[in-house]
A = this chain, B = another copy of it.
Amino acid sequence: MTTTEPKVSDPYPTRVGDQPRLIPRVDPTVWGQRPGPIEAATLRSYESKGYLTVGGLLTPTEVRFYRQELEKLATDPALKADERTIVEKESAQVRSVFEVHQISEPIRELITQPRVLDRARQILGSDVYVHQSRVNYMPGFTGKGFYWHSDFETWHAEDGMPAMRAVSMSIALTDNYPFNGGLMVMPASHRTFVSCVGETPDDHYRASLKEQEIGTPDQASLTQLAADHGIDQFTGSAGSALMFDCNIMHGSANNITPYPRSNIFVVFNSMENTLRAPYSARKPRPPYIASPTFTPLQNPGL
Of the listed stretches A75-83, A248-256, A280-288, name the one at the interface; the rest are far from the partner chain: A248-256
Contacts of A255 in B (CB 8 A): 253
Task: Tell me, yes or no, whether A179 is within 8 Å of chain B by CB.
Answer: yes
A231 contacts partner chain B, Cβ-Cβ < 8 Å: yes
The distance in angstroms between the C-alpha atoms of A199 and B60, with both chains bound, is 45
A16-24, A102-110, A140-148 - the one binding chain B? A140-148
Contact with B along A241-276 (1 / 0, CB 8 A): 000000000011111111100000000000000000
Q: Are A257 and B184 in contact (CB under 8 A)?
A: yes
What's the minimum C-beta distance from A203 to chain B, rounded to whole angstroms?
Answer: 26
A3 to B219, CA, bound (A): 49
Q: Mark A202-223, 1 if CB is under 8 A from B, else 0.
A: 0000000000000000010011
Tell me which residues across on chain B come within 8 A of A147, comparing CB atoms: 256
B256 & A226 in contact (Cβ 8 Å cutoff): no
Q: Is the CB of B254 within 8 A of A141?
A: no
Interface core residue of A178, A226, A233 (most chain B CB under 10 Å): A178
Q: How far is the CA of A227 from the CA of B257 in the complex (A)?
A: 11
Of B227, B233, B251, B252, which is within 8 A of A178 by CB?
B233
Rounded to whole angstroms, the CA-CA distance of A198 and B73 in the bound complex is: 36
Contact in complex: B219, A259 (CB < 8 Å): no
B179:A253 contact, CB within 8 angstroms = yes
Q: Determine if A31 is an interface residue (Cβ-Cβ < 8 Å).
A: no
Q: How many copies make up the complex?
A: 2
Contact of A179 among B140, B141, B184, B222 (CB under 8 A): B184
A256 proximity list for chain B (CB < 8 A): 145, 147-148, 184, 251-253
Q: Residues of B contacting A140 with CB < 8 Å?
A: 219, 223
Q: How far is the CB of A139 from chain B (nearest CB, A)?
A: 10
**Contact for A231 among B179, B181, B222, B253, CB less than 8 A:** B179
**A294 is an interface residue with CB less than 8 A from chain B:** no
Q: What's the minimum C-beta distance from A170 to chain B, rounded to whole angstroms?
A: 17
Tell me which residues across on chain B come within 8 A of A223, comparing CB atoms. 140, 258
Selected contact of A219 from candidates B145, B184, B258, CB within 8 Å: B258
**Which residues of chain B are near A178, meaning CB under 8 Å?**
178-179, 233
Would you list 18 pairs from A and B whose C-beta atoms are within 8 A, ordered by A residue?
A141-B222, A145-B254, A145-B256, A147-B256, A148-B256, A177-B231, A178-B178, A179-B231, A179-B233, A184-B256, A184-B257, A219-B258, A222-B258, A226-B259, A227-B258, A253-B254, A253-B255, A253-B256
